[in-house]
Amino acid sequence: MTATADTTALEFGKSRVRKEDARLITGRSRYTDAITPPGTLHVAIVRSPLAHARITGIDTTEAKRAPGVHGVYTVSDLGADEVGMPCAWPITPDQKAPQRPVLAKDTVHFAGEGVAVVVARSAAEAKDAAELVEVDYDPLDPVLDMEAALAEGATLVHPDLGTNESATWVFDSAEAGTGGSAADAIAAAESDPDQVVVRRRFRQQRLIPAFMEPRSCVVDPTGEQMVIWSATQIPHILRTMTTVTLGIPESKVRVIAPDVGGGFGGKIGVLPEEMMTVLLAQKLGRPVKWTETRSESMLAAHHGRDQIQDITIAARKDGTITALDVKLLADMGAYLGLVGPGVPVLGAFMFNAIYKIPAYRFQDTNVFTTKTLTDAYRGAGRPEATFAIERIMDELAVELGREPLELREQNWIKHEEFPFTTVCGLTYDSGNYEQATARAKELFDYEALRREQAERRERGDKVQLGIGISTFTEMCGLAPSRVLGSLAYGAGGWEAASIRMLATGKVEVITGASAHGQGHETAFSQIVADKLGVPFEDVEILHGDTASSPKGLDTYGSRSLVVGGIAITMAADKVIEKAKKIAAHLLEADEGDIEFNAGQFTVRGTDKGKAIQEIAFAAFMAHDYPEGMEPSLDSDAVYDPENFSFPHGTHLAAMEVDTETGRVNLRHYVCVDDIGNVVNPLIAEGQVHGGLAQGIAQALFEEANYDDQGTLVNGTFVDYTVPSAADLPSFTTEIVSTPATSNPLGVKGVGEAGTIASTPAIVNGVLDAVRHLGVEDIEMPTTSQRVWRAIQEAQGRSTQETPVDTHSPGAGLGSIDPNNPQGEVQ
């Protein structure tokens, strides 16, 4: 056998088209709902229409009699009264955590919470019977506003906890020894005529991750290992947590995440619905399937963001920042999700961003309300932090009369200052903010747009132009296990990989990362092809099935490449190490004289050599191999990162605002991201595009609104306005690379960058377009009505209140209010 790899062309850095596409573009996909083992029964969940109510009776008599029904169950009928969903992140030792049941027991805590479940032969019959389940409720007051929830005498979401405050987490750089006292510095600034103090309150609205594939779970209890297929980002964690939650031995559970249709953090939960499906399958001894509808998903799948941010920044009049203080209220919703409490804490280290801030204090209070729980959504904590700092940098620039980019540059860490330890104690290994910014300004034609802006203002044009800036960084590659330990997170942050060299020279790579759109199969194949010197096509990536990939911590927090990719690299090094011994043996040379390059083991100074495929075959035959060695090249590795990685970039948005109607138009968006070395530019660019769209959607389009009864009023795709192609422009994206020094590939992670950076760029741009009219702030999303109203108010014209809690035109369907359907339909 001989190697066929082209030794001159490295895979690393090549824009390979994706190998996973072949099945996805032809409909050969296997998303969970497509899996229907023989005899599968179907689930329909009866969900509470009320946010907060005591359940006074559940009558299942009629439903049980309905055709095709195998059973109708309450939580007690399932024997699951004591079962609670896991929360893996107690951010403080005294964190209050209510039991989160499989189905509500005697009280429902948010609209959409499951109350009973029907199992039937078909999904249609299950739904028909679910409509026959009669539930009597005794309504309780909803708890909707975080500040009111914390006030004395507030209605308690969980009376047994005695408070609606789950936990308060504080970081103070003075106490940590990483900086000065922000409180002292701000107090000093207030009495110092040479300093300014700027205070702002920002609202991070509630968002819905809105992955395209609704969640689904199929459990087959037949056979020795129970098989759970789930549309999840975290098959390995789900397996362990099924054991923790239900007591089923981990060795008796196999979890498969087949093709998964997006996640964005929205699929990192361990779900009541998953545990319920397991319980039902056990009880009935048959495969059971639960697939949610989109409307169900909007109500019951976890939401994201939802913070109130009180930000105080102090600076000298020359622009030098002297202190930053952050106080957050974070809405947890009715229960704590798997990592929900830690999401604001993940942001704690990013408010200081790229700036040299000498004193910093951060305080986060997590609050219970009777709303859908919140948890990770793309960026998880870091978009919130980036928004707040980038918004207040613009506010500070206005206060000081400074050019906002110059003010940023004055305060940011210069490229020659890396590695740099921040006021949070994190060490940024590398970066070059000057480079990214210079390139972004050039691509954007910053100066020309500033001129156009001035001209439009001068002329009093109907359509005004604003320039939005966001110079962001993020921490990626979650995470060093020791850091997670110090934050009381309930797991490590390592990732596992294995490489199997097959007899015929093909390579199977097993990763604990679990892709749901990221293109792991392609990118990881490129890394392995280079490392082992084998053709790209000869590498197969196995993932998302605990039977083939038994060990892993899955995919979130831009960690797959930065942690999982390094584990693969380390496993490949071990393969080479083993192969080198066999090569030396077969070539009758000293191991020290064996060189490995592009798939060939050669004896230094000779033309003798063997390809890695030949060594793999020799190991398989095992006729002749070194004493004291196992005849195998297969290798495992677990990589635990030493540090986070810190991608950064400069994003610039040209925003047009029609001052007559308030309509906002994103005219041009430029971003230059420094994500370190890039394995596959095509895939990296795609990640940036998608991230931008989601971040822009937060700024312009999306918000989950509740009415005063705690009902989600825009719980469909009609009224929760996810942008379509017609709502977005093409972006100008470019990648520059300052390699990370914290990992051997020099990579940084890219999955969340676009989302983290873009939201403040857009909002800064909108404000920049209308600030001269007297507008100081506009809440997100900056809808046309909000922009128009802000202008009216700034001009001293009073307007009506904006009723955010009523249904939209088209709510549900056209003007039909789903809660009050009326009229004729043809």
Partner 1 sequence: MIPAKFDYVRPSSVEEAVSALQQGGDDAKILAGGQSLLPVLRLRLAAPSVVIDLGGIAELRQISEDGDRIAIGAMAPHHDVMRDDLVKQHVTLLSQATATVADPQVRHRGTLGGALAHADPAGDLGAVALALDAEFVIAGSSGTRTVPAGEFFVDYFTTAIGEGEILTQVRFPKYTGWSTHYEKFNRTAQAWSMVAVAAALRVEGGSIAEARIGLTNMGTTPIRATGVEQALVGQPATADTVRAAAEHATEGTSAPSDADAAADYREHLARVLTGRAVLAAAG
Partner 2 sequence: MAEVRVTVDGVNYADEVEPRMLLVQYLRERLGKTGTLVGCDTSNCGACTVHLNGQSVKSCSVLAVQADGGEVLTIEGLARDGELHPVQKAFNECHGLQCGYCTPGMIMAAVDLLGDNPDPDENEVREGIEGNLCRCTGYQNIVRSVQRAAQMMKPGASAPTETPAPVAGD
Q: Which residues make up the interface to partner 1 (CB under 8 A)?
A: 123-124, 127-128, 131, 293, 295, 660-661, 663, 701, 705, 713-714, 718-719, 721, 723-724, 726-727, 783-785, 788-789, 799-816, 818, 821-826
Angular region, 333: left φ>0, alpha ψ -120 to 50, beta rest:
left
Strand order in the sheet with 107-108: 107-108, 53-59, 134-139
Instruction: Provide the edge-to-edge strand list for the sheet that holds 609-611.
Output: 594-597, 600-603, 609-611
Q: How far is the CB of 520 from partner 2 (least distance, A)?
A: 11
Nearest CB to partner 1, comparing residues 54 and 294: 294
With CB cut-offs between 5 and 8 Å by kind, which of partner 1, partner 2, none does residue 665 bind?
A: none
**Judged by CB, which is closer to partner 2: 263, or 431?**
263
Chain residues in the site for partner 2 (CB under 8 A): 17-18, 20-31, 33-34, 124, 210-214, 259-262, 264, 293-295, 516-519, 682-683, 685-687, 689-694, 716-718, 722, 724-726, 728, 730-731, 754, 812-813
| Eight-state DSSP code of residue 816 | B
Nearest distance from residue 380's CB to partner 1, in Å?
Answer: 25
Minimum CB separation from partner 1 for residue 705, in Å? 6
- Provide the CB-side half-sphere exposure for 701 (13 A, CA): 19
Report yes or no: 326 and 183 within 8 Å, Cβ to Cβ: no
Nearer to partner 2, 259 or 474 (CB): 259
DSSP code per residue over 584-598: HHHTT--GGGEEEET
The smaller minimum CB distance to partner 1, of residues 592 and 823, is found at 823
CB of 811 to partner 1, least distance (A): 7
Question: CB 47 → partner 1: shortest distance, Å?
Answer: 13
CA distances from residue 253 to 216, 290, 335, 612 in whole angstroms, order as listed: 17, 18, 26, 36
Give the shortest CB-344-to-partner 1 separation in angstroms: 27
Residue 217 contact, options partner 1, partner 2, none, Cβ 5-8 Å cut-off depending on partner type: none
Cα 801 to Cα 222: distance, rounded to the nearest angstrom: 58
Binding partner at 519 among partner 2, partner 1, none, C-beta below 5 to 8 Å by kind = partner 2
Measuring CA to CA, which residue among 301, 290, 440 is closest to residue 373?
301
Which of 605, 823 has the CB closer to partner 2? 823
Q: What's the residue count for the chain?
A: 826
Q: Which does 21 bind (CB under 5 to 8 A by kind): partner 2, partner 1, none?
A: partner 2
**821 touches, from partner 2, partner 1, none (C-beta below 5 to 8 Å by class):** partner 1
Q: Which is nearer to partner 2, 33 or 614 (CB)?
A: 33
In single-letter form, the type of residue at position 678 comes to V
SS3 state of residue 386: helix
Name the minimum Å distance from CB 61 to partner 2: 25
Min dist. Cβ of residue 497 to partner 2 (A): 22
- Considering the complex, what minimum distance in angstroms separates the CB of residue 671 from partner 2? 11
Q: How far is CA 822 from the centre of its chain?
A: 39
Q: Which is nearer to partner 1, 116 or 587 (CB)?
A: 116
Tokens in use for 664?
């906002």
Closer to partner 2 by Cβ: residue 420 or 717? 717
Residue 22 interacts with which of partner 1, partner 2, none, CB < 5 to 8 Å by class: partner 2
Q: CA of 777: how far to CAs of 664, 769, 793, in Å?
A: 15, 12, 11
Classify residue 341 as exposed, middle or buried by CB count within 10 Å of its CB (0-12, 13-18, 19+): buried
Nearer to partner 1, 601 or 788 (CB): 788
Cα dihedral sign, 546-549-550-556: negative
State in angstroms the smallest separation of the CB of 625 from partner 2: 42
Cβ-count burial of 260 within 10 angstroms (0-12 exposed, 13-18 middle, 19+ buried)? buried
DSSP letter string, 33-91: GG---TT-EEEEEEE-SSSSEEEEEEE-HHHHHSTTEEEEE-TTTTT-TT--------S
- Angstrom distance (rounded) from CA 111 to CA 232: 23
Question: Among partner 2, partner 1, none, what does residue 783 contact (CB within 5–8 Å per kind)?
Answer: partner 1
Q: Which residue has the tokens 């040379």?
A: 589
* Least spacing, CB of residue 694 vs partner 2, in Å: 7
Measured CA to CA, the distance from residue 13 to residue 112 in angstroms comes to 46
Residue 660: name its binding partner from partner 1, partner 2, none (Cβ under 5 to 8 Å by kind): partner 1
Residue 717, amino acid: F
Nearer to partner 1, 211 or 556 (CB): 211
> Of partner 2, partner 1, none, which one does residue 260 interact with (CB within 5 to 8 Å by kind)?
partner 2
Q: Closer to partner 1 by CB, 70 or 254: give it.
A: 70
Minimal distance in Å, beta carbon 36 to partner 2?
A: 8
Q: Which is nearer to partner 1, 181 or 291 (CB)?
A: 291
Choice between 138 and 660, CB closer to partner 1: 660
Q: Closest approach of Cβ 446 to partner 2, in Å?
A: 22
Nearer to partner 1, 28 or 797 (CB): 797
Select the binding partner of residue 705 from partner 1, partner 2, none (C-beta < 5 to 8 A, by kind).
partner 1
What minimum distance in Å lies between the beta carbon of 125 and partner 2?
Answer: 11
The option from partner 1, partner 2, none interacting with 264 (CB < 5 to 8 A, set by class) reads partner 2
Say if strands 114-120 and 41-47 run parallel, antiparallel, or are unpaired.
antiparallel
Residue 251 binding: pick among partner 1, partner 2, none (C-beta 5-8 Å cut-off by kind):
none
CB of 720 to partner 2, least distance (A): 10
Distance, in Å, from the CA atom of 343 to the CA atom of 349, rounded to the nearest integer, reads 11
Phi, psi of 217, deg, nearest 5? -145, 130
> Which of 515/563 has CB closer to partner 2?
515
Q: Bridge-partner residues for 366, per DSSP?
A: 167, 330
DSSP-assigned states of every residue in 286-327: S-EEEE--HHHHHHHS-BEEEEEEEEEEEEETTS-EEEEEEE
DSSP string, 735-793: EE----SSSTT-B---TTHHHHHHHHHHHHHHHHHHGGGT----PSS--HHHHHHHHHH
**Contact partner at residue 127 from partner 1, partner 2, none, CB < 5 to 8 Å by partner kind:** partner 1
Phi-psi label, residue 774: left if phi above 0, alpha if psi -120 to 50, beta otherwise: left
